[in-house]
Structure 1
């Protein structure tokens, strides 16, 4: 059944290209849990821009909700949703990746079927900006990353600080023995916690210390900054976050912050520039995709939502992946069991 579907879709792609005088052949591809990728071999006379310009026509012909066209070292790649998606779960993927290296978070599964990890101690990662609209899967991604860090690292080597202005994102983590304090909801406590971290960073700088590593998870970073501005405090949340982003890695302090839209009106360019790794879910427009990823033509506005993300970092090509989903109750059970072990 799937084979017949793939052959029919490949024929449709070739027919559309031929009808628009941009001939090419589908030479192969892969079937991932959420995505199908076709490798396209264009005729010598067919330009990439011509193929890319036919994205909407191809999506209509294939009867899919979205279609991305990209140029890689393998040639031209067409990506569209798998009509029979398979779930990617944390519990299913975790046995394949443990034990993880120190300070390394599990993200999910790439469209090539490989687990995707983020090693915070690497200069190419250090701090992570997570962006996407409501329903994109930001909170689920934060929960997966935090739980994997807690399961793979002892509290003596890694600590977690969670800032949660809406009070919903990190409820599952309350049982984790790695927490420096319960998830912070109030803006005054968030400022105090960030001030304490800056002082710790400066002290560690002087002593050349990095341990234990401290990972700061922030849900709705823009909301936290806006609350601070309304409060008219003497110390700016954005100023504190910028200092931590600029100098935190050498002191073993890492930021993992989520926001719906990292616009210049809320987040300064200096702060955004200090997040080397961007994890971008579905956004509203191509301009939002550029702001979130820090580069043009990532097509993040064409993602499917519900955990469909791209990882963008350095000069490497974006990596599309599906978040390894972990429900709130499942996370609570995993971390409660971990807490029981640590107290025995």
Structure 2
């Protein structure tokens, strides 16, 4: 008897959601499973056996015959099993020819990972066909097309002349999503002329509104003009691409290094949470807010001295992959407002307790206490969907404000996220106590001002495009990494 590929009740729910909200059709489950298998095979590493263990048949799960998935045992050119055995043998680094049981186990892991990836990447309120075209059939990248960059530079130089600016192109750089042109200006007043002409530059190049961004460069009388490319020409940044930066000298010198992704030229974008010392991030559906949260958490889990994590997720969705962490505060991910309020108030008590310890040791903060021999560790509170939490309990605001104002020296840090950046979800007193912000794509300039105290985030490109504004600094633009379920499981 040929072994079947067993999928869980949760896997079935993903397939049901795709059929209902993605296509509006009642299809056979193997149709979605084939797509999931294809998506998993695009990922750079094999699925973890720990993250996707072999599952027995479940009453409300799905049982698929390999013939439905890959045509196994069918006649003629309908049987693709040898093709999949060859691909998966290379992928897994073992031979799957002659070992049906191992082959079917690997096949099951890939289908399950593919379904988890589809669930994480596709938003039910967005076009599923467009998602499949983008992920399964990406166009060849044109990032290194020098002819295109030269042509664009020539057009830009002509447009700057039309704006009345005397500028000379000195350098062209390609990043994951933008092409950056560095210009040398003759007159200081030319910067204002070019800045006012951002929309005219976009229009003159035949690009959409907000495609051109002008900013001051590091060199004397130099400016940067960043031109956004179409999404089909983006270069995706994976977690595996940026994770090594957490071992760099720059990261090691930080107290609690976080890699958010890359800057516009593809260099790792590192920040120190201790210097922040708290973060607020906001962005609409599809902006990449969740991926940014995962980058923050994965960075924290890469620290040499792991911080304790208090994770609060009112929707009980985003943090499920972290529920078995040993450094999870309280041993569980919190979802109810009552549990969240209790935990935050307990953190205030912990903050006060630590301050007394510091006084006894004659030190000012956690870092000095650790140097004096204390075994206290940092604590990071990560809250997803702060707006939902406030809607359910307005009492949450009080302990958050107190922690934001006084917890830094005690080694307690806040990371607060919301899809709805508005005054109700980021009130004034809390806002003034959380000066470091990350804005992903928002719908309106007013939402950008809630996050950054200035506009700009309404013109971002989505899918991880962000503006990072740290305490006392100007915003810098970056691109978030694409986090796969296997990154979290690993």
Relative to the length of structure 1, the TM-score reads: 0.86
Matches within 5 A, 1:147-158: 147-155=298-306, 158=307
Which has the higher mean CA deviation after the structures are superposed, 178-187 or 66-75?
66-75
Pairing 1:167–2:316 present: yes
User: Following TM superposition, by how much is the alpha carbon of 1:45 offset from its aligned partner in structure 2, in angstroms?
Assistant: 7.9
- CA–CA distance in 1 between the matches of 2:327 and 2:435? 25
1:136 equivalenced with 2:287 (yes/no): yes
Q: Distance in 2 between matches of 1:268 and 1:146?
A: 25
Name the CA distance, whole Å, in 1 between partners of 2:256 and 2:471: 20
1:92 and 2:241 aligned: yes
Q: 1:4 aligns with which of 128, 131, 147?
A: 147
Cα offset, 1:13, TM superposition? 1.2
Which sits farther off after the overlay, 7-16 or 313-322? 313-322
Structure 1 residues 258-305: Cα deviation after superposition (integer angstroms, max 9, x where no partner): 1234332332222111113211111223332222113x35x2221111
Distance 1:70 1:287 in 2: 21
Deviation for aligned residue 1:23: 4.2
Contact 2:182–2:217 (CA<8 Å) still a contact in 1? no
**Whole-angstrom distance in 1 between the partners of 2:447 and 2:310:** 28
Shift of residue 88 of structure 1? 0.9
**How do residues 285-304 of structure 1 correspond to structure 2 at under 5 angstroms?**
285-294=444-453, 296=454, 299-304=456-461
* Structure 1: unaligned runs, 5 residues or longer: 230-235, 335-344
Alignment match, 2:350 = 200
Q: In 2, Cα distance between the equivalents of 1:116 and 1:165?
A: 29
Which of the numbers 415, 419, 433 marks the counterpart of 1:260? 419
Q: Which residue of 1 aligns with 2:386?
A: 221
Alignment partners' CA distance in 2, 1:239 and 1:136? 29
Superposed CA deviations along residues 7-30 of structure 1, whole A, max 9, x for unmatched, are 111111122222343443322132
Q: For residues 201 and 30 of structure 1, do their structure 2 counterparts lie closer, same or farther at Cα, with a shift above 3 Å needed?
A: same
Q: Between Structure 1 and Structure 2, whose CA radius of gyration is higher?
A: 2
Show the 5 A alignment for 1:16-95. 16-44=159-187, 47-65=190-208, 66-74=211-219, 75-83=222-230, 84-95=233-244
Matched position secondary structure for 2:156: helix
Identify, as 1 or 2, the structure richer in helix. 2
Structure 2 counterpart of 1:239: 398
Q: Please say if 1:114 is aligned against 2:257.
A: no
**Stretch deviating more after TM superposition (311-320 or 94-103):** 94-103
Whose strand proportion is higher, 1 or 2? Answer: 1
Unmatched 5+ residue regions in structure 2? 1-143, 359-364, 367-375
Aligned to 1:339: none
* Alpha-carbon distance, 1:314 to partner: 2.8
The reply to whether residue 187 of structure 1 matches residue 337 of structure 2 is yes
Structure with bigger RCO (C-alpha 8 Å, 6+ apart): 1
Distance 1:54 1:95, change over 3 A: same
For structure 1, which segment, 250-259 or 310-319, has the greater mean C-alpha deviation from structure 2 after superposition? 310-319
Looking at structure 2, the residues matched to 87 and 79 of structure 1 have their Cα atoms a distance apart, in angstroms, of: 18
Matching residue of 2:486: 329
In the TM superposition, residue 46 of structure 1 has moved relative to its aligned partner by 5.2
Aligned to 1:309: 466
Paired residues of 1:30 and 1:112 also in contact (CA < 8 A): yes
Secondary structure at 1:251's aligned position in 2? coil
**CA shift in 2, pair 1:95/1:266, >3 Å:** closer
The answer to whether the Cα contact below 8 Å between 1:24 and 1:46 also exists between their aligned partners in 2 is: no
CA distance in 2: counterparts of 1:307 and 1:146, whole angstroms: 16
Conservation of the 8 A alpha-carbon contact between 1:280 and 1:311? yes
| Worse-matched range after superposition: 249-258 or 77-86 | 77-86
- 1:276 corresponds to: 435
| Correspondence for 1:178 among 307, 327, 334 | 327
Partner of 1:342: none
When the two structures are superposed, what TM-score results if normalisation uses the length of structure 2?
0.62
Deviations 1:154-210 (A, max 9, x none): 44xx11111111111211212322211321111111111111111111111111274
Measured against aligned partners, the alpha-carbon deviations of 1:216-269 in whole angstroms (never above 9, x if no partner) come to 00111122112103xxxxxx1001100010111111110011123433233222
Aligned positions, number: 321
Give per-residue Cα distances to partners, 1:30-64, cap 9 Å, x unaligned.
21112211112334385323212222221133233
2: CA distance between counterparts of 1:292 and 1:261?
A: 10
